[in-house]
Amino acid sequence: MNLVVTASWYVALAGLVLGIASLAVFRQPLLALRVTMDLLVTAGLLRLSVDLSWATIAGTVAMIAVRRLVRRTLASDFNAARHRAHA
């Protein structure tokens, strides 16, 4: 196995561990999700630098699309909840 592929697995694992740890410490699900998803995208980009197949490209694009959709949806949900609380 290539060193970069191994590093991408470690980055993905670190994303999961740090996401859970940030949720436990800060009690903010949006922050924990951002940490996890950013590190998963980083792992995908590392993997993409080694394996330039269409499956890897599609997986990385899908992860970035899901990341953007989830962050935008959760941010709008949290902002709407804040506006309702102040109204």
Residue 13 has pLDDT above 90, yes or no: yes
**31 C-beta neighbours (distance < 10 Å), count:** 14
If you average pLDDT over residues 62-70, what whole number do you get? Answer: 87
Q: Please state which of the ranges 41-45, 56-60, 82-86 shows the lowest mean pLDDT.
A: 82-86
- Of residues 85 and 33, more confidence is placed in 33
pLDDT of residue 19: 94
